[in-house]
Structures are given as C-alpha cells and as structure tokens.
Amino acid sequence: MRYSLRAMAVSLWLTVGTAYAESPVQAVDAMRHARLSEGFEARMNVFVIAPDGRRAMPMKIAVIGQMRENRQRLLVRGLSPESVRDRVVIAERNASGRIQSYSYAGRFDGAAKSVDPFSRIFGSGLVLWDLFTPWWDWPLQAVVTGKSAGDHACIWVSSQTKEAASATIRTVESCVEAKAVLAWQTRLLNAQRELVREIKVSSAVRRSVGTGLAAKKLSIVEANKTVTEIEVYAGDEEYVISPEMFAPLEREH
C-alpha cells in the first residue's frame, strides 16, 4: 500500500495544467504556463546508481518552490541520511532568465556559498537549472518527428537557444503529451548535440488541483550512465511559502 501522491510541481516534470493544448504551439504555451505556482512542496526518495551498478545510500529530499511569471524561486533541502540532513540549495531565476544559486548547511546564518546552477544536487542527477525548465522560454521551438516515449501519445518538441549564457545545454527535446501537460521524456543536448542528460517519467498521478498529471516516478540518466531514480512520496500543491524561506536570496541580492 503506497501513498499515492498528489504531488507537487517541480515544474520540470510536473505541471499546474489548466490549459488543454491542442497544437504543438499550444503545447509549449501550456508547458510554460503549467510550471506556475504560488507554492508547492514535494518530498522524494532519491536513489543514485553508479555506472558500475553500485547503489549509493538512498536519500530523501524536499523540493519547495514558488514559480511566478517574472520570478521563480526554488529550495532543495536534504532530509536524510545524516550526510545531507539540513543541507540546502536555494536558487532564483529572474525575468531575464538569469539563475543565481547558493548553498548552506543547517540554519541560514548569513553565510551562503554561491553554486553553479548546473551542478548536481547532493551527488544525484538532479540539477537546479533543469528544475526551472528554462527551455520553454527559448524563442526557437519546433516540432520534430520522433518515436513516442513508451505508450504515451506525445509529440517531440525541440527547444533551442544560441545564447552562450545557457552554457552546457543548447538543445532540449521533450516528448510532450498535451492532454496530460507533461513531458514523458526530456533529452538535454550540448552545443555539439551530444546527450548530456535524459529524464524519463515512468509513472504519473492526477493532480489534485486543476487538470493534467504530475510525475510520481522518474529516472535521470547522465552521459556517463549514472542513473538517478526518483520517487515522489508526499507533497502539497498549496504550500504556504513563509517570508523567511527565501530570505538567504534577498540577503545575497
């Protein structure tokens, strides 16, 4: 008996899908709209499997976010084991698309360290930059033909940017199911069109608010074949963001 989740909205894989997209263009709009949230929290089990098959100690983390049109903020907090407990990664993406991120341990005491938004969170395949799904804001969006992801009737959308600011990732290909407002598969490619990461959703649950699905289980495969399996076990789609939650960001500004 598993607690099926009403899960949350880390916008990469989940959505506040209110719009029902009927065309590829609408699909991109719907995905962009879907990540908006006044507050959400998702708790997940994270399992990292090294290329040689070795499994790291399972990890529990909480992802908290507030996603507005012009300002998106995320906080990832380690729950267990001891090695990640109370370690926090916090990030903000502003209207121009710039992402600033910091990390600190324990209670914030004014000392936060600036971190690369492309770095892996707590040694897993999770990456802050991905969580913001910035590619939906890129100007170049095209529908490409491709095999559907699994049994899902999804269409492949290729998002591209020429900005060097986006650093590693220049192309993102997503297989979007319009009705579910969910990308079942996402491929992140670099400037040389080499695969950097691939994210696959294996199961999703109906959201408790609005329409659309939210991912429950997903896996991230990195270029070096490190696999990160994620299972969302609890969540709150109407999480109340306390004023002090993102205070460290304000302080850094």
Partner 1 sequence: MNIFSFALHNLLHRPVRTVLTVFAIALGIAAVVALTSIAWGFESSWQKANDARGTDLIVTRAASENAMPSPFAADKVTGKLLALPHVEQAVGLLSEMLSVSAEAPPVFVFGWAYPSYLWEHLKLTEGRWPISQDEQAVVIGTLAAEMLHKKVGDRLDIEGNAFPVVGIYQSNALVENGAVLMTLAQAQRVTDKPGKVNILNIKLDGRATESDVQQVKAQVKSALPGFVAITSGELVSQNAVVRISKAMSNATILIAGLVGALVVFNTMLMSVNERTQEIGILLALGWQRRTLMKLVFIESSLMTVVSGAAGIAIGLALTWGLEHVELMQGKITPVFSPVFLLAVMGLAVLLGLCGGLYPALKAARMLPSQALRQE
Point out which residues bind partner 1 (CB under 8 A): 1-6, 41, 43, 45, 58, 60, 62, 64, 78-80, 85-86, 205-206, 208-209, 233-234, 236-240, 242
Compare residues 78 and 134 and give the one whose CB is closer to partner 1.
Answer: 78
Least gap, CB of 217 to partner 1 (angstroms): 14
Strand blocks (E) in the chain = 37-49, 59-67, 71-80, 87-94, 99-105, 113-115, 140-144, 155-160, 171-177, 182-189, 195-206, 213-222, 227-236
Least gap, CB of 7 to partner 1 (angstroms): 9
Least gap, CB of 214 to partner 1 (angstroms): 11
Least gap, CB of 206 to partner 1 (angstroms): 6
Compare residues 60 and 152 and give the one whose CB is closer to partner 1.
Answer: 60
Whether the CB-CB separation of 212 and 181 falls below 8 Å is answered with: yes
SS3 33: helix
The closest of 76, 162, 164 to 127, measured between CA atoms, is 76
Compare residues 139 and 243 and give the one whose CB is closer to partner 1.
Answer: 243
Compare residues 195 and 209 and give the one whose CB is closer to partner 1.
Answer: 209
Whether the CB-CB separation of 217 and 203 falls below 8 Å is answered with: yes
Compare residues 149 and 215 and give the one whose CB is closer to partner 1.
Answer: 215
Tokens at residue 139, please? 């100007």
Cα–Cα distance, 230 to 124 (Å, whole number): 10
Least gap, CB of 5 to partner 1 (angstroms): 7
